[in-house]
Amino acid sequence: MYGLVNKAIQDMVCSRFGENIWKEIKQKAEVEADIFISMEGYPDDTTHKLVKAASVVLGLSSSEIMQAFGEFWVQYTAQEGYGEMMDMSGDTLPEFLENLDNLHARVGISFPKLKPPSFECTEMEEDSLSLHYRSTREGLTPMIIGLVKGLGTRFDTEVEITQTQSRDDGAEHDEFFVNYKSN
C-alpha cells in the first residue's frame, strides 16, 4: 500500500500516545524504514506488522486498532492534501459511499500502483443501505467499520453499522448494513 497509509498510522499513534510509544511499536514490528514516503509503495506486510505490534504494545485488539484507524483516516486524508478531493465526493454519507469508486479511480490515475477496493451501495432507503466491500486485500474489514463511522462524524450523521456477510465465513465479499440519521 502507499506510504500514506503507514504515515497515517504513525501520526495517529504519535498524536494519541507520543513518539516513544511509536518507536516501541516500530521496533516490535521490525519495520526498518526511518520514515514513510506517502507516494511510494510499501508491502502490505509492513502495514499488517505495524497493526499487530501496535496491538501488543497498546493492549488493544488488532480489530480495535483498525477501527480506530479507519475513523482517523477520514479526517487525516481530509487535512493531508486530499481535502478538496473529499469535498468533491459528496455532502452526505450515502452520496460519499456511492462516489468512493470514482474517488479511487481519480487517485489511481496519478498513482497507478493503487489497488483500490470497490464499494457498492444497494437497497438504498431514506435511512439505510447495504454496503458491499470488495478488496484484493484481506484483513482490512474492521477498518471499513471505522471508515464509515468516520464519515458519520464528517457529515454530522449518526451511524450504526453491522456486518451481515463475511469473506471469513465463505461469502464472496463482505457486506454491511448501514443505518444512519443526519443531524
The CB-of-123 to ligand 1DX minimum distance in angstroms stands at 18
- The C-alpha atoms of residue 73 and residue 24 are separated, in whole angstroms, by 22
Give the dihedral sign, CA 115/150/154/91. Answer: positive
Give the residue, chosen from 107, 158, 177, 182, that forms a contact with ligand 1DX under the rule CB under 6 A.
107
DSSP 8-state code for residue 46: H
- The C-alpha atoms of residue 161 and residue 89 are separated, in whole angstroms, by 21
> Is residue 33 at the binding interface for ligand 1DX, with CB under 6 A as the rule?
no
> Is residue 121 at the binding interface for ligand 1DX, with CB under 6 A as the rule?
no
DSSP 8-state code for residue 119: E
- The C-alpha atoms of residue 137 and residue 2 are separated, in whole angstroms, by 13
Buried b (16+ CB within 10 A) or exposed e, 57-75: bbeeebbebbbbbbbbbbe
- Nearer CB in complex with ligand 1DX: 20/109: 109
Report angle CA 133, 161, 99 to the nearest 5 degrees: 45
- Nearer CB in complex with ligand 1DX: 22/133: 133
Give the residue, chosen from 11, 14, 38, 177, that forms a contact with ligand 1DX under the rule CB under 6 A.
38
Binding mask 62-101 for ligand 1DX (x = CB under 6 A): ------------x--x----x-----------------x-
Percent helix / strand / coil, the chain, rounded to 5: 55, 15, 30
Give the residue, chosen from 51, 65, 93, 151, that forms a contact with ligand 1DX under the rule CB under 6 A.
151
The CB-of-30 to ligand 1DX minimum distance in angstroms stands at 21
| Site size for ligand 1DX (CB under 6 A) | 24
Interface ranges with ligand 1DX (CB under 6 A):
1-2, 4-5, 38-39, 74, 77, 82, 100, 103, 107, 111, 114-117, 135, 137, 140, 143, 147-148, 151
